[in-house]
Amino acid sequence: MGENAISGNLKNLTIDTRDSETLVVCFGEMLIDFVPTVGGVSLAEAPAFKKAPGGAPANVAVGVSRLGGSSAFIGKVGDDEFGRMLADILRLNNVDNSGMRFDHNARTALAFVTLRADGEREFLFFRHPSADMLLSESELDKNLIQKAKIFHYGSISLIEEPCRSTQLAAMKIAKASGSLLSYDPNLRLPLWPSEDAARKEIMSIWNLADVIKISEDEITFLTGGDDPYDDNVVLQKLFHPDLKLLVVSEGPNGCRYYTQEFKGRVGGVKVKPVDTTGAGDAFVSGLLNSLASDLTLLKDEKKLREALLFANACGAITVTERGAIPAMPSMDAVQDLLTSSASHRS
C-alpha cells in the first residue's frame, strides 16, 4: 500500500468489523519493541536487536481478532516508517485501525526490552515525548468508541497529558454508550515519575472499571506490600462495589477470580515456556473475546471458569513462541491445547 494511503487520519483504512455486536475496542499505546537476538543478556551486552510490534492494548486487539473476534485499536503513532508499519500490522491482522492517528512532529515510541540471565526484565524507553502520549480528545473517533461492546485500556496513557485527559474522555463516552469497561493496569514503573505517582494514577480510575485484570506483583505494589495471595487483601482493598469481575493472573499457575457472588481459582495449562512476552495480553484477549460473545458468564460461575481456562490456554500458547503479536493464538490452536491437556489429565 502506498505511503500516502496510510498517512493522515487513516479514514480509508477502516476494516469491516465482523460483528459490531461483539466489538472490543482497545485504547492506548502501540510501539516498537527492540529485543536482543540472544537471550539472557543485559541491554548493554546484547550483540544485536530485532524489532517487534508492541504495546499491551494493541496486543490485546490483535489477540481478539486472531481468535475470530471483532476488534479495533485507538491510539497515536508517529507519521514515520515505524508508525506506518504498526498501522499495517493491525490491518493485516484484521484489526480496525480507523481510530489511529499520526503525529507529524513526535516519533513512534520505542522500547528496548531484555530478559536478563537472572530472569528480570530490563526496559529502556524512548518517549520524549512519543506520539502515543500526544493523542488529544479532539482526535478521538467517538463513533468507534460508541460501538464498543467492551472498551479496554491500561494505565500507561495516564502518565502524561494530553493523553491522560483523552483516555478519561474515551472511558466516559464508552460508559455512556453502555460498553463494559475493562482495565489492565499493566504496571511499567520505569515510565512513571515515581512509585507514588504510579499508585495514585492507577487507582484514580479503579472504581470506573467493570472488569479488572491484575498480576500478583501489581497487588503487592498497589496495596503497599500486602500479601497478594490473601483473599481478604484483594476483596477489601481492590474489589470495588461496582466491579463485576476481578481476575488475578498467576502466570503458569493459572488465575484467581472474584465477583460479587463467587470466587475461586482456575489452574494453568502446562507448556514449555520460551518467551513470556505478551502472555498476559493473550490471557486478556481470550477472556474479552469470550465476554464479548456472552456477558452472562459474569453471573454464571461454570461458564466463567470455562472462559478463564480458555484464557489460561491463550496465555500458555503465547509463551511457547517468541514475541507477542506473532505468538497470539488462533481459536483452533487453543482448542487443540485444551483437548490435549484434558486427555493428559484424564
pLDDT bin (cut points 50, 70, 90) of residue 1 is very low
Q: Is 5 helix (H, G, I), strand (E, B) or coil?
A: helix
DSSP 50-65: EEEEE-HHHHHHHHHH
Res. 186: pLDDT tops 80: yes
The predicted structure's pLDDT at residue 165 = 98
The predicted structure's pLDDT at residue 101 = 98
The predicted structure's pLDDT at residue 121 = 76
Higher pLDDT, 171 or 36: 171
Q: Which one, of 238, 174, 170, 180, lies nearest residue 209 by Cα?
A: 180
The predicted structure's pLDDT at residue 19 = 59
The predicted structure's pLDDT at residue 116 = 80
Q: Which one, of 205, 77, 91, lies nearest residue 153 by Cα?
A: 205
pLDDT bin (cut points 50, 70, 90) of residue 204 is very high
> Residues 33, 113, 168, 164: is their CA dihedral positive or negative?
negative
Average pLDDT, stretch 227-250? 97
Higher pLDDT, 10 or 207: 207
Instruction: Mention every residue, 6+ apart, whose C-beta is less than 8 A from residue 283.
Output: 213, 249, 255, 311, 312, 314, 315
Res. 93: pLDDT tops 60: yes
The predicted structure's pLDDT at residue 342 = 84
Q: Which of 6-10, 27-31, 137-141, 307-311 has the lowest mean pLDDT?
A: 6-10
CB 51 within 8 A of CB 32: yes
pLDDT in tens, 284-312: 999 999 999 999 999 999 999 999 999 99
- Give percent above pLDDT 70 in the chain: 93
Average pLDDT, the chain: 92
Res. 3: pLDDT tops 70: no
pLDDT in tens, 95-130: 999 999 999 999 999 999 888 887 677 889 999 999
**What are the boundaries of each domain within the chain?**
24-29+56-105+136-341
Residue 140, C-alpha cell as written in the block: 478521538
The predicted structure's pLDDT at residue 119 = 65
Q: Is 300 a catalytic residue?
A: no
What's domain 24-29+56-105+136-341's superfamily in CATH? Answer: Ribokinase (3.40.1190.20)
pLDDT bin (cut points 50, 70, 90) of residue 277 is confident
Rounded CA-CA distance 98/95 in Å is: 9
Angle at which helices 331-345 and 301-318 cross, to 10°: 110
The predicted structure's pLDDT at residue 345 = 61
Q: Which one, of 56, 33, 35, lies nearest residue 281 by Cα?
A: 56
Q: Which of 141, 281, 294, 300 is catalytic?
A: 281
CA 193 remoteness from chain centre: 22
DSSP 243-292: -SEEEEE-GGG-EEEE-SS-EEEE-------S--TTHHHHHHHHHHHHHH
The pair phi, psi for residue 62, each rounded to 5°, is: -65, -40
For residue 329, cis peptide bond before it (omega within 30 degrees of 0): no
pLDDT in tens, 245-271: 999 999 999 999 999 999 999 999 999
pLDDT in tens, 20-73: 799 999 999 999 999 899 888 999 999 999 999 999 999 999 999 999 999 999
The predicted structure's pLDDT at residue 275 = 81
